[in-house]
């Protein structure tokens, strides 16, 4: 964890050093004040010279202003470094999260990624600020204070010094113990974020089914867990401060006792004892501050570990050089050329799950052809698409795109082949044009063309602002069918080589669905299309239809072939056609 912090602090070493120097000077002024006071009381005051006393008083005021100004400047510099370093950490963490493979995202979980990006980086920010503000000042005050008290009265200083190792040992021991406790606090807050995300996303169904009380109880439970973890961690750390104060206060009592005896016996002057006590208070505060620093440090150490765990994750979807692919590319057919998509005995299992989500899938699809995929929920349709777009690598077998092993194609090139619309895709808080374009360099004409093909043009143009109509978060100001059409326009925009639609026309009425299919047929004849659907009518015109069940290809062929040979397909057809005529 220290490594990750050091890497990010390196560019700020000069700024930090400057800040430390300013802080150092401010702290020296702080330390000089009580000494000056003792000097006035013991040396200047007895002479009775008012002008000298006034001069010394003025010097004290100057020191106080100096201490204040330097401390303020140094604190501002420290906050700026903490802010910039945290921004760099957050930036890199965000960039790494964007590049995580689907399997790595599954493993880390989205709520945990959110809290790493928010609370964990916040904890680091707090620590960087606090350590710079107090990390220099408190030790200088402690060491400087001890050195000055040694010159004032070495005997009394020894009493003070004797308790410091005990305090140091206590602080380090307790802090070490608390780091895993803070890790548990962060894990519990991951669960809290997950629940809030789920509830916020499902607020409508929660209201519709009046399950608010159940959700409140669930929230309460997780919330209690966060509180109890936090209580345990903070409770442990809270032991440091009272113990430190108690030890220091006991030492102070001893110092007062010994000091009184020494003044009484004439071995020491009152002014010195007064200065000594002031230094003692300064040292006491400094040591308490150091122990407080350990609290933020322990919390930030746990957070830095969690951030580093993501930033340091190795790339698990590396692009292989073609010669390492070790596979024979699929043969080109004399009539149709090289297949646009080929699956060669592909099997796949998610992360730690024991069962295959897909088993032994093989098929070839040539450029300009359409693949229809149909099957019950959980049959593996979406998984097949995820392998096709290389969100995951197959556990066995290979996926080929235009004759190349998908693993050998650089990610940006691979993704540029695709335009995809998924059922649960996100619409962003942006204009309709912005949502269709999605940051790609596409012209207005291409956006309008895609909207027209996706049957979205009519309803977009109906609106006063047309393509500049702003969408609310997740496109909540559109109907289900309108959302799907914007998503389909996004997939079609720029005429990619392969268009994938994963159950993305389910909310369209039959007429619009038919118009969409006709537009695809006529205007996207060269585009290879992959359509996942529940309705047979959506895939009936496909060149190849895969009927999936339990992750296996039950049957494949054209609509007519399947109608003639596949009983599952026949039943599906009968039920859907029956549904239509009813």
484 binds ligand ADP (CB under 6 A): no
Which of 110, 523 has the CB closer to ligand ADP? Answer: 110
Radius of gyration of the chain (CA): 35
- Report in angstroms how near the CB of residue 423 gets to ligand ADP at its nearest: 9
- Report in angstroms how near the CB of residue 233 gets to ligand ADP at its nearest: 32
CA 461 distance to own-chain centroid: 38
394 binds ligand ADP (CB under 6 A): no
- Report in angstroms how near the CB of residue 533 gets to ligand ADP at its nearest: 11
382 binds ligand ADP (CB under 6 A): yes
Please pick, from the candidates 47, 210, 265, 377, the single residue that binds ligand ADP as defined by CB under 6 A.
Answer: 377
Which of 471, 562 has the CB closer to ligand ADP? Answer: 562
Compute φ and ψ for 428, nearest 5 degrees: -100, 165
Secondary structure element (H or E) that encloses residue 61, with its range = helix 50-99
Tell me the window of 6-14, 223-231, 381-389, 409-417 that interacts with ligand ADP (CB under 6 A).
381-389
Nearest to 428 by CA among 485, 486, 507: 486
Which of 454, 547 has the CB closer to ligand ADP? Answer: 547
381 binds ligand ADP (CB under 6 A): yes
265 binds ligand ADP (CB under 6 A): no
- What is the β-pairing status of strands 418-422 and 544-549? unpaired
- Report in angstroms how near the CB of residue 349 gets to ligand ADP at its nearest: 9
Which of 232, 360 has the CB closer to ligand ADP? Answer: 360
Tell me the window of 1-9, 108-116, 315-323, 371-379 that interacts with ligand ADP (CB under 6 A).
371-379
CA 430 distance to own-chain centroid: 22
111 binds ligand ADP (CB under 6 A): no
Please pick, from the candidates 47, 210, 265, 353, the single residue that binds ligand ADP as defined by CB under 6 A.
Answer: 353
Nearest to 24 by CA among 108, 146, 138: 138
Compute φ and ψ for 465, nearest 5 degrees: -90, 0
**3-state secondary structure at position 454:** coil
Tell me the window of 8-16, 158-166, 180-188, 375-383 that interacts with ligand ADP (CB under 6 A).
375-383
- Report in angstroms how near the CB of residue 106 gets to ligand ADP at its nearest: 5
Q: Which of residues 506-535 bind ligand ADP (CB under 6 A)?
A: none
459 binds ligand ADP (CB under 6 A): no
Which of 128, 488 has the CB closer to ligand ADP? Answer: 488
- Report in angstroms how near the CB of residue 195 gets to ligand ADP at its nearest: 19
Which of 106, 232 has the CB closer to ligand ADP? Answer: 106
The span from the CA of 254 to the CA of 123, in Å, is 39
375 binds ligand ADP (CB under 6 A): yes
Which of 104, 291 has the CB closer to ligand ADP? Answer: 104
**3-state secondary structure at position 270:** helix
Tell me the window of 19-27, 112-120, 336-344, 373-381 that interacts with ligand ADP (CB under 6 A).
373-381
Q: Which of residues 17-56 bind ligand ADP (CB under 6 A)?
A: none
383 binds ligand ADP (CB under 6 A): yes
- What is the β-pairing status of strands 404-405 and 552-557? unpaired
Compute φ and ψ for 359, nearest 5 degrees: -135, 125
Four-point Cα dihedral 158, 160, 162, 165, nearest 10: -140
Four-point Cα dihedral 219, 224, 225, 231, nearest 10: 150
The span from the CA of 282 to the CA of 30, in Å, is 9
Q: Which of residues 151-210 bind ligand ADP (CB under 6 A)?
A: none
Residue for token pair 């393509």: 467
- Report in angstroms how near the CB of residue 535 gets to ligand ADP at its nearest: 14
Q: Which of residues 333-352 bind ligand ADP (CB under 6 A)?
A: 350
Please pick, from the candidates 42, 84, 92, 106, the single residue that binds ligand ADP as defined by CB under 6 A.
Answer: 106
- Report in angstroms how near the CB of residue 477 gets to ligand ADP at its nearest: 28
357 binds ligand ADP (CB under 6 A): yes
Q: Which long-range contacts (CB under 8 A, 24 or more apart) does 154-157 make?
A: 155/258, 155/262, 156/255, 156/258, 156/259, 156/262, 156/276
The span from the CA of 156 to the CA of 510, in Å, is 93
Which of 291, 382 has the CB closer to ligand ADP? Answer: 382
| Residue 169 tokens, joined | 């040992």
Please pick, from the candidates 34, 129, 380, 496, the single residue that binds ligand ADP as defined by CB under 6 A.
Answer: 380
Q: At what angle do helices 270-311 and 154-201 cross, to 10 degrees?
A: 30
488 binds ligand ADP (CB under 6 A): no
CB 393 within 8 A of CB 317: yes
CA 450 distance to own-chain centroid: 34
378 binds ligand ADP (CB under 6 A): yes
Residue for token pair 């895709």: 425
Binding residues with ligand ADP: total (CB under 6 A): 12
- How far CA 573 is from CA of 323, 564, 569, 576, in Å, comes to 46, 11, 6, 5
**Mind spelling out the 3-state secondary structure of 222-261?**
HHHHHHHHHHHHHHHHHCHHHHHHHHHHHHHHHHHHHHHH
Q: Which residues bind to ligand ADP, rule: CB under 6 A?
A: 106, 350, 353, 357, 375, 377-383
């Amino acid at each position: 964890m220290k490594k990750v912090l050091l890497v990010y602090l390196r560019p700020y070493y000069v700024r930090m050093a400057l800040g430390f120097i300013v802080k150092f000077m401010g702290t020296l002024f702080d330390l000089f004040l009580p000494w000056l006071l003792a000097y006035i009381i013991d040396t200047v005051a007895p002479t009775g010279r008012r002008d000298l006393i006034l001069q010394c008083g003025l010097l004290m005021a100057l020191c106080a202003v100096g201490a204040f100004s330097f401390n303020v400047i140094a604190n501002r510099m420290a906050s700026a470094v903490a802010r910039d370093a945290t921004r760099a950490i957050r930036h890199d963490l965000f960039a790494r999260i964007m590049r995580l493979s689907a399997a790595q995202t599954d493993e880390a979980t989205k709520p945990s990624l959110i809290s790493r990006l928010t609370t964990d980086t916040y904890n680091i920010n707090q620590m960087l600020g606090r350590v710079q503000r107090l990390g220099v000042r408190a030790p200088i005050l402690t060491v400087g204070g001890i050195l000055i008290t040694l010159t004032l009265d070495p005997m009394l200083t020894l009493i003070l010094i004797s308790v410091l190792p005990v305090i140091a040992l206590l602080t380090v021991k307790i802090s070490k113990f608390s780091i895993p406790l803070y890790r548990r606090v962060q894990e519990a807050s991951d669960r809290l974020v997950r629940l809030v995300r789920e509830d916020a996303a499902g607020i409508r169904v929660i209201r519709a089914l009046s399950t608010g009380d159940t959700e409140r109880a669930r929230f309460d439970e997780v919330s209690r867990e966060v509180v109890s973890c936090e209580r345990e961690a903070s409770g442990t750390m809270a032991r440091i401060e009272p113990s430190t104060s108690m030890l220091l206060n006991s030492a102070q009592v001893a110092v007062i006792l010994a000091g009184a005896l020494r003044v009484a016996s004439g071995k020491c002057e009152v002014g010195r004892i007064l200065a000594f006590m002031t230094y003692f208070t300064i040292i006491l505060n400094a040591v308490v501050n150091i122990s407080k620093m350990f609290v933020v440090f322990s919390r930030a150490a746990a957070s830095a570990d969690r951030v580093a765990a993501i930033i340091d994750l190795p790339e698990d979807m590396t692009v292989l050089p073609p010669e390492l692919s070790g596979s024979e590319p699929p043969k080109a057919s004399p009539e149709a050329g090289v297949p646009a998509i080929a699956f060669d005995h592909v099997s796949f299992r998610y992360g730690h799950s024991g069962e295959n989500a897909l088993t032994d899938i093989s098929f070839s699809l040539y450029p300009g052809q359409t693949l229809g995929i149909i099957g019950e929920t959980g049959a593996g349709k979406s998984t097949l698409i995820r392998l096709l777009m290389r969100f995951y690598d197959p556990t066995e077998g290979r996926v080929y795109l235009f004759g190349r092993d998908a693993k050998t194609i650089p990610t940006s090139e691979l993704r540029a082949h695709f335009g995809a619309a998924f059922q649960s895709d996100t619409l962003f808080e942006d204009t309709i044009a912005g949502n269709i374009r999605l940051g790609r360099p596409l012209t207005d004409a291409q956006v309008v063309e895609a909207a027209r093909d996706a049957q979205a043009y009519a309803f977009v143009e109906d609106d006063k602002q047309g393509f500049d109509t702003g969408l609310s978060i997740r496109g909540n100001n559109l109907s289900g069918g309108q959302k799907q059409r914007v998503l389909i326009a996004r997939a079609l925009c720029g005429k990619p080589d392969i268009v994938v639609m994963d159950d993305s026309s389910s909310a369209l009425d039959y007429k619009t669905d038919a118009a969409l299919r006709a537009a695809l047929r006529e205007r996207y004849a060269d585009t290879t299309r992959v359509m996942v659907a529940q309705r047979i009518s959506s895939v009936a015109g496909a060149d190849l239809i895969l009927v999936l069940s339990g992750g296996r290809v039950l049957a494949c062929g054209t609509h007519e072939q399947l109608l003639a040979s596949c009983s599952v397909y026949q039943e599906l057809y009968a039920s859907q056609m029956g549904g239509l005529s009813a």
